Amino acid sequence: MRIFKTKIFTRWANKEHLKDSALISAVEEVQNGLVDANYGGNVFKKRIGINNQGKSGSVRTIVGFKSNNKTFFLYAFKKGTKSNITNEEKKALKEVAKDYVTLTDKKLNIAI
């Protein structure tokens, strides 16, 4: 399983002190079917706890996920600042996820 973070997600995660170890744990949970929402098109919402808080009061991440293959952390927000993504955001994230999860390893390596 390869795990990627978009540049925007990385900046946000650094600001929020979201550790890579928490992202790895979240990917393992998604792999086991533990997601908060399945938006279709390989796009899922996954809650992640930060700063020793439980998941219910922490951050929401949107991931592009292809089972046993690769995961892309695309977007995130804190629960207190936003309740959910809009339909327009969902549609755009599905398009982005579709592009990312279908990339071959060779194309991914070139992009990196």
The backbone region for 98, taken as left when phi is positive above 0, alpha when psi lies in -120 to 50, beta otherwise, is alpha
Per-position b or e across 24-48, b if 16+ CB within 10 A of its CB: eebbebbeeeebeeebebbbbbbbb
Tens of pLDDT, residues 18-62? 999 999 999 999 999 999 999 999 999 999 987 666 666 689 999
Task: Please state the domain extents for the chain.
Answer: 2-111
Please give the mean pLDDT across all residues of the chain.
90
Query: Of 24, 17, 15, which is closest to residue 73 (Cα–Cα)?
Result: 24
Which CATH number is correct for 2-111, 3.30.2310, 3.40.50, 1.10.10, 3.90.25?
3.30.2310
- Residue 110 pLDDT more than 80? yes
Per-position b or e across 49-71, b if 16+ CB within 10 A of its CB: bbeeeebeebbbbbbbbbeeebb
Q: pLDDT-derived band of residue 81, with 50, 70 and 90 as boundaries?
A: confident
